[in-house]
């Protein structure tokens, strides 16, 4: 018997986005995604862009350089970050990255 729930999404039921992110779960007003083993070469050609949502993130492993509205931050394991809705930003992975993000409103 298959059990369905609005409260749990099993690993095998997650989906992948166009940029390689794992879409973990979506709530009424936010969603959570995982960047898993993102490689430095995968972000070499990233260009600044803005999103119609706010992003809150946490670096689990690795190192990434995040530029938000012209300010560059180096983020490592244990660091949290925020990208405001509409802010021009880009990132460059420096060491293999695992990070989790919550976006509001969710996609």
> What pLDDT was estimated at residue 10?
86
> What pLDDT was estimated at residue 46?
82
Cis peptide bond upstream of 96, omega within 30: no
The structure tokens 């420096």 sit at 94
**What is the rounded average pLDDT of the residues 82-107?**
95
Confidence of residue 70 (pLDDT cuts 50, 70, 90): very high
pTM over 0.75: yes
E strand map for 1-107: 15-16, 22-26, 31-38, 54-68, 71-76, 80-83, 89-104
**What is the rounded average pLDDT of the residues 25-34?**
94
Strand pairing of 22-26 and 15-16? antiparallel
């Amino acid at each position: 018997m298959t059990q369905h729930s609005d409260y749990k999404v099993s690993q095998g039921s997650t989906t992948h986005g166009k940029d390689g992110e794992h879409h973990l779960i979506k709530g009424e007003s936010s969603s959570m995604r995982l960047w898993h083993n993102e490689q430095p070469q995968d972000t070499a050609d990233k260009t600044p862009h803005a999103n119609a949502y706010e992003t809150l993130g946490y670096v689990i492993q690795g190192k990434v350089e995040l530029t938000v509205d012209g300010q560059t931050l180096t983020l490592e394991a244990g660091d949290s970050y925020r990208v405001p809705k509409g802010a021009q930003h880009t990132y460059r992975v420096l060491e293999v990255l695992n990070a989790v993000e919550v976006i509001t409103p969710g996609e």
